[in-house]
Chains A and B, each alone.
Chain A
Amino acid sequence: MLTIASLKKGQKAIIGEMTSKDIPLKLLEMGCLPGNHVELIQIAPFKDPLYLNINDTFLSIRRETAKLIHIELIPDE
């Protein structure tokens, strides 16, 4: 299964299932919800954390959290 952690820089996707109970509610409140868009803007040096644009909000989360959020890729236009 693909997760946000498997995105490459500049790649876009749609957020799918978020079933893990370790996903903080705060992340949902920031707009990280099934059906919303996510784009990987940048990966920090040493491969962590990830800089994302989720539903027009720019935020960064750690790789371990990103691994919990499933996605479906949007093919490049």
Chain B
Amino acid sequence: MSKQINVALVGNPNTGKTSVFNNLTGLNQKVGNYPGITVEKKEAVVKLSRNLKAHILDLPGTYSLNATSLDENVVIELLLNKNDKDYPDVVVVVSDIENLKRNLLLFTQIKDLGLPTILAINMADRMDRKGIQLDVGLLEKRLKTKVNLISARKNKGFTELKQSIMDHQKLSVNPCLEVSKIDKQYFESLKKAYPKQDLYKLWLVITQDVNFGKTNRNRMTSQNGFQPKSDSEIKRLQQKETIKRYQFINETLKETLTKDLALAKGLRASIDKLLIHKFWGYVIFLAILFLIFQTIYDWSTYPMDFIDESFLAMSEYVKDVFPLGMLSDLISEGIIPGIGGVVIFVPQIAFLFLFISILEETGYMSRVVFLMDRIMRKFGMSGKSIVPLVSGTACAIPAVMAARNIESWKERLVTILVVPFTTCSARLPVYLIIIGLVIPDERWLGVFNYQGITLMLLYLLGFVTAIGSGWLASKMLKIEFKSYFVVEMPDYKMPIFKNVFYTVIEKTKSFVFGAGKIILAISIVLWVLASYGPTDDFDNAKSIVTASLDVTELSQEEINTEISSYKLKNSYIGYAGRAIEPAVIPLGYDWKIGIAIISSFAAREVFVGTLATIYSVENDDEQTIKSRLAAETNPVLGGPLFTFASGISLLLFYAFAMQCMSTLAIVRKETGTWKWPMIQLFGMSGFAYVVALIAFQILK
């Protein structure tokens, strides 16, 4: 039987740790969450040799073991807990050749935990170009471990790295820094009080808020002559530890590393000159955003049309092939349109994540953070809020999570509160269908498509509202805070295609399966509600309708439509819809859209699916949703239901309303209370209702 060992990958952000993980594992990785928290957990099992397998865990990026965020906490909790099933047999610290000095800080801390620790130096292919020379043999001696030069980009050095992992039992576990050197007296008394424990681990338990077996921070009271120190003294000691570690690192690198400074600069300076220019920097950023949205709109149309038609064809096929009955109806009218409603916006999500991950990979995102910080602070946020706000255009859920990087609680909270205003991809199908109905498909000045411009304006509207409400929120929130802001400015790099590809696949997958379940469930519930009614009127629809009409003047088809529409009106959903109709009529909608709006509170993208379900119940022929919507009439005013006024009203409602259960849940998780998600739900939706009402009343 083959043996399995646990390998943990640790490293600073921007070292290419994820590419290293991808190269080691390929596509058989599993992405989930750590229990109870929403930190992403990436793992994979790979075969190292005939009888040895490795379970590789990609831990969140961190600069040190001094955790300041939930993500970083995961690292220290795992490395301190011997009983964890993932507790590593060997740790691989991934660093990058150009930032070796800083990367070694984390390395020395992990090495001092007494774990076999391999140092993998990534981007080794850049050494020549950057004029860097490294004495690997001497470095191994000084760090008392195995050092591997690798290049994730060129896929080099991985055979050797795997060999080092296999040989991990040969590695020394002696520390780089004797922790007692930080403060002799303090650590000696600590040692006396807890003679059985590892001194450095004890120190981490004191400085970090994590539990460690039975010893936890609060239980470490004064005993056997040990005097706990105050927080500010502890902080001073942590600073001293950092200085001591850097002394060791500087001495080590002085002996082993040489850099030709003339070659080291260059590219960074010249690209920076343009990208963070006080004028061109902003122009370029706006141009990139514009390009991204334009491209998504253009590129997605074709696959979306294809998906739309394929699902229609599938429904028809099921109807033809399966025997008539409830099951056939459920599949062709409930399930297939429901799944179609999810699949249809896979293209947009994929394209958006494609662009976002390219921006991150190249190092451009940090420049945007730098460029925008001063401006964003005026609106109660940080330059780092740009990343959540831009990711918010894909989906608010990862965006709310991305706000974790913001150090100040107030800036982070404001960002979380306003992110749902940005135009997420779930709004896109709603926008596309309504724009298609009420905005002419013509060109302005012969160049710009009106529909494209409307979409662009909606994106802009979402962004402006987010920023404006950020300003409002920061004025209203009374939170004392110290703002601190430290952003690494990584080197510019060509994006690695494999990384971008994996990110796109993974994000799209988690979106489809996450949101997809809700959408599918709601589609089925809706279908049931639309196919059954509470009274006899529903079951006797045929006889009632035939009796009330002059049957001789109508074709069979027209009679059928009348019957279906009578049925729908008297179904469960019809009753519910008509109950809320008075509330939506002033906005220019009918009860069917009312139902779609209500079900959209589970998730916006349900809108299209709901209409698809409702209308395919009503009209049993193959029309696309768009043409069905166009044929609807306004219950009060008569004439087409979708006019410019009601269309704009609906667009505005979807732009502002908080209609996403998953976002509310994630905000609850990230802020620790229901207070903030409830403020979002009622504040945003109330605002949406008022704006939509005003818009319709003015425009009609």
Is A45 touching B281 in the complex (CB atoms < 8 A)? yes
The interface residues of chain A lying within 8 Å CB-to-CB of B383 are 49
Q: Give the complex CA separation of A47 and B90 in angstroms.
A: 46
Contact indicator B487/A45 (Cβ below 8 Å): no
Of the candidate stretches B97-105, B167-175, B544-552, B650-658, the one touching chain A is: B97-105
List A17-43 residues whose CB lies under 8 Å from chain B: 18, 21-22, 24-31, 33-34, 36, 41-42
Interface size on B, residues (CB 8 A): 42
Nearest-neighbor residue (CB-CB) of B373 within chain A: A49
Q: Which of A22, A29, A33, A62 contacts B373 (CB 8 A)?
A: A62
Q: Which A residue sits closest to B253, measured CB to CB?
A: A56
| A46 CA / B272 CA spacing, docked (Å) | 17
CA–CA, A55 and B247, complex, Å? 12
State in angstroms the CA–CA spacing of A71 and B239 once bound together: 18
Give the residue of B242, B269, B282, B407 whose beta carbon is less than 8 angstroms from that of A28. B242
Interface size class of A (residues with CB under 8 A): 20 to 34
Give the CA-CA distance A34 to B485 in the complex, in Å.
20
Among residues 373 to 390 in chain B, which have CB atoms less than 8 Å away from a CB atom of chain A? 373-375, 383
A29 with B105, Cβ < 8 A, contacts A44-B371, A58-B268 known: yes
CB-based contact B370/A33 at 8 Å: no
Residues of chain B within 8 A of A42, CB atoms compared: 272, 276
CB-contact partner of A60 in B99, B102, B487, under 8 A: B487
Across the interface, which residues of B come within 8 angstroms of A24, CB to CB? Answer: 407, 484, 486
In the complex, what's the smallest C-beta–C-beta distance from B642 to chain A, in angstroms? Answer: 44
With A41-B272, A49-B373 as known contacts, state yes or no: A29 contacts B485, CB within 8 Å.
no
State the main secondary structure of chain A at its contact with B.
Answer: mixed
Q: Are B373 and A48 closer than 8 Å at their CB atoms?
A: yes
Residues of A within 8 A of B269 (CB): 41
Q: Does B133 lie at the interface of the complex (its beta carbon under 8 Å from any beta carbon of A)?
A: no
Task: Tell me whether A65 is interfacial, beta carbon within 8 Å.
Answer: yes
In the bound complex, do residue B371 and residue A26 qualify as a contact, i.e. CB atoms below 8 Å apart? no
Contacts of B105 in A (CB 8 A): 29
**Is the C-beta of B555 less than 8 angstroms from some C-beta in chain A?**
no
Which one of B61-69, B427-435, B561-569, B661-669 is at the interface? B61-69
* Cross-chain contact B485 with A33 (CB below 8 angstroms): no
CB distance from A77 to the nearest CB of B (A): 13
Flag B447-488 by CB within 8 Å of A: 1 or 0 each: 000000000000000000000000000000000001111111
Given A44-B276, A51-B489, A65-B485, A33 contacting B68 (CB threshold 8 A) = no
Give, as a whole number of angstroms, the nearest-CB distance from B7 to chain A. 25
**Can you spell out 6 A-B residue pairs with CB atoms less than 8 angstroms apart?**
A26-B484, A33-B242, A42-B272, A44-B276, A45-B282, A61-B485
